[in-house]
Amino acid sequence: MRERDDPEVVGRRVQQLRTERGLTQRQLADPAYTPAYISTLEAGRVRASDDALQHIAGRLGVAFEELALGRPAHLATELRLRLTEAQRTLATGEAEEAAAQYAALCAEAEAHGLGCEQATALLGLGECALETGELVRAREYFERAERQLAGLPLPVRVPALRGRAVSHYLAGELRYAVYLLESALDELNRGGLHDPDALLLLYASIIGPYMDMGAHARAAQAAEFALALAPRAGDPALIARMHRSVARTLLAEGRVAEADASLAKAAELYRRLQLRTELANCHWMRGYVYAQDGELERAEAELREAAAMLSTTSAALYNSQVTVELADVLHRRGKSEEAAELLNRVLGDLSSERGAVHAAAAHRLLGIIAEDARDTEAAEEHYVRALSLLERAGAAGDLADLCRMLGDLLRRTGRVEAALDAYRTGLGHRTAPGTTTLGPAPAQPPL
């Protein structure tokens, strides 16, 4: 809460309210104070104590906050209700409308010194920006929210920190995203701050970066912790998000049926919560599961459903990422021409700063399609672009496989030394997935 207004401002406010109500200074003062004290207070020559202002507020029939801060009664409660409405708007996929609501609420909260409500609005603006793919803006909102919450316990600050980490992750800065998330997990667990919602949010968010970096063991452990924490968490949206993230790890371990079951649970929760974008992401992950298990027809149906749902929202970045995975399935089903058309269309929405891993995947697939068409020059160009994107992102597992493909291409075209260089680069990233870029694992929760 902001500090009280200056004595002169409070004095003028008391005098105005007293006059409006037709009270004399004696009537306002009785029985605890004197008319002279009220006169001195109205002139701004004394800073009233909280007890005095509580008495005067009671006599005037207003809230203490309205007298001390000029804040309308119940404003904080009304703002929180409107923040909830903005959250619902965002949950149904209307990110631009939600952003307008959050921006108005942020300005109003700031004007009245409602720091926690302002931070909540900034978090909402950050989530809207993530939804629309404006990653730099999202990061700025999350950083402002962190500054607003500075000094409060870490569990309160976790949503802002997690948002900042996700914005870095989607921009392709995997190592830094993992550093932020692991640091928070370590501090929470070592400090005994075992807040289930905060821990679940962090563990669910770190699975994706771990998987993209090739740190499958850590991803699996994070998934186990998330599953163990889920029954103790109070937020069903968090539980749904966790089920979606965990499915990817289960799949890496070959537990396809369990992965599908986890996604089914997430989808049901999101249906109940009417979170359209998150539900689309569940279809996306189901498509990923089916594709990895060789059920390409079912994978195509799920990914098309996800793309169709995301196209009706402002989630442009997510839509581009789904399209890359759909193109991979189409290519595997012999529909390479349609796949290439989709990839060339979405590459304009992806870059090294915005969806680097999926931009690399798009170039990799275009390289494969070019190789199939005997266009080795175009294939090499796409592989090199993908390699550059993956090196910047630190996606070790994908990078090693790409180096093998590039090496094979170079060897077939007679460039043996260049092929050997590509193979060596790949081996360097494959030696121990994740260990070359990650330090010690964070402390574990007491489960």
Whats the size of the chain, residue-wise?
Answer: 447
User: What is the CA angle 74-75-79, rounded to 5?
Assistant: 120
Q: pTM (2 decimals)? A: 0.65
The CA distance from 93 to 149, in Å, is 27
CB 23 within 8 A of CB 80: no
Q: What is the pLDDT of residue 272?
A: 57
Q: What is the pLDDT of residue 233?
A: 64
Q: What is the pLDDT of residue 379?
A: 93
Q: What is the pLDDT of residue 1?
A: 45
Instruction: Quote the tokens at residue 210.
Output: 């771990």
Q: What is the pLDDT of residue 10?
A: 87
Q: What is the pLDDT of residue 384?
A: 92
The CA distance from 241 to 91, in Å, is 13
Tell me which residues of the chain have a pLDDT lower than 70. Answer: 1-4, 71-77, 193, 232-235, 237, 267-279, 312-315, 351-352, 394-397, 429-441, 446-447
Which residues, including other chains, have CB under 8 Å from residue 264's CB and lie 6 or more apart? Answer: none
Helix axes 316-332, 115-132, angle to 10 degrees: 30
Q: What is the pLDDT of residue 327?
A: 93
Query: 351 forms bridges with which residues in the sheet?
Result: 354
